[in-house]
Structure 1
């Protein structure tokens, strides 16, 4: 693909020193999809496949300066957020991206695979107030969906109620990831335009790290490539399944790191909806 034809995308997230999630996973995913990836780092983590041992958040002015530098030069077609850590960071990102018309994928990262907290409890309301209304799509897993909506999860129909709550909160669409559910199949549910789309894959015997980051990054790339939202989510879910099937263990723990060079399904669909775009 000629350089001039590569859409520019942006990830705003934390750095994973172990290379399996965060900024590192996002950039590898962008490259695999043939888009030009840019990044604004919100925090530097000290982590490996065993644990997150330290988190250092960047000052708001440095986050804002990264975003300003990128927006001054690159025509960002789609962007995503991952680890934002605290309310201060969330406000800085919201201010730094104000006025953009690009599609925005909000991945509400709260807990790492190793169990470390990556979002302060006090920041959930800031996330809901400042970024959720801007989102073309929000991609929570089950615990994140419950925390972000403030609704219980455990009964049949709870997912529908949680999705409705997030849509009422301003999100353009909601993709509730099914990795935390039990059963032989993983079912991701996309609520958009009054419809429910489901994406099913066989559950793999893997202890995956970075699946959520990779999925959101792949959706972002696919939106930038011109797919409509449902097609972007389906293609991204297929990619994550393939990447998880090829996962490997570079560290000494039982955590599997995705193969970001996995086969990507052919690009077929053309864009039919512009997604939600907020100033």
Structure 2
């Protein structure tokens, strides 16, 4: 970090309070302000990934220094205590997250089973809803990680937070629509669909 610098950082699964505090310490040491926090708590298969004692450290130490926090519905519920079941409750959870100290909250709507897939963006001043048609597929492994990483990439390139989220939403939606069926469980989304599409179009 002292060599080539850091334009943005994205955090993922931090399973214990000790790990969270170690990460927060390094972010403070290197004075990194553009932090995207993906508060990973439960795996796609249902396994718990975050120890109970780590939730408090997440809420009081990591979220307050984040530029963006990107929980899904169940994660937002666990962090805020608000039962996220629809757009209105997702908005309430987003407000609570910003009150905890982060600059922007994006509560993802993929776990809300009715209607389109709507992500709630709140920056402390106004809401914006990013809505796409829901894709019927089991191959969604890695969507949350991809979404947060794409936001961080946009921020690192100099985009505004809102434009970074918009770009990330479009990328993840396209990656899900061009999913990969690998094995019998939850397969991955296809990060390279645009590249592969352009390669195929060049084949005569």
Tell me whether 1:199 sits opposite 2:135 in the alignment: no
- What's 1:88 paired with? 18
Question: Is the 1:142–1:180 Cα contact (8 Å) retained in structure 2?
Answer: yes
Q: CA deviation at 1:246?
A: 1.0
Tell me whether 1:143 sits opposite 2:100 in the alignment: no
1:133-176 superposed Cα distances (whole Å, 9 cap, x missing partner): 11000000000001011233347732222112111110101000
- What's 2:175 paired with? 243
**Aligned match for 1:258, one of 169, 182, 189:** 189
Distance across 1 between alignment mates of 2:62 and 2:87: 28
Secondary structure at the aligned position of 1:199 is classed as strand
Q: How does 1:98-177 map to 2 (within 5 A)?
A: 98-99=28-29, 100-154=31-85, 157-177=88-108
Greater strand percent: which structure? 1
Question: Is the 1:239–1:262 Cα contact (8 Å) retained in structure 2?
Answer: no
* Gaps in structure 1 of 5+ consecutive residues: 1-70, 265-279
* Gaps in structure 2 of 5+ consecutive residues: 196-204
User: When the two structures are aligned, how many residues end up with a matched partner?
Assistant: 193
- What's 2:155 paired with? 223
Given the two structures, how large is their TM-score scaled by the length of structure 2?
Answer: 0.89
Q: CA deviation at 1:77?
A: 0.3
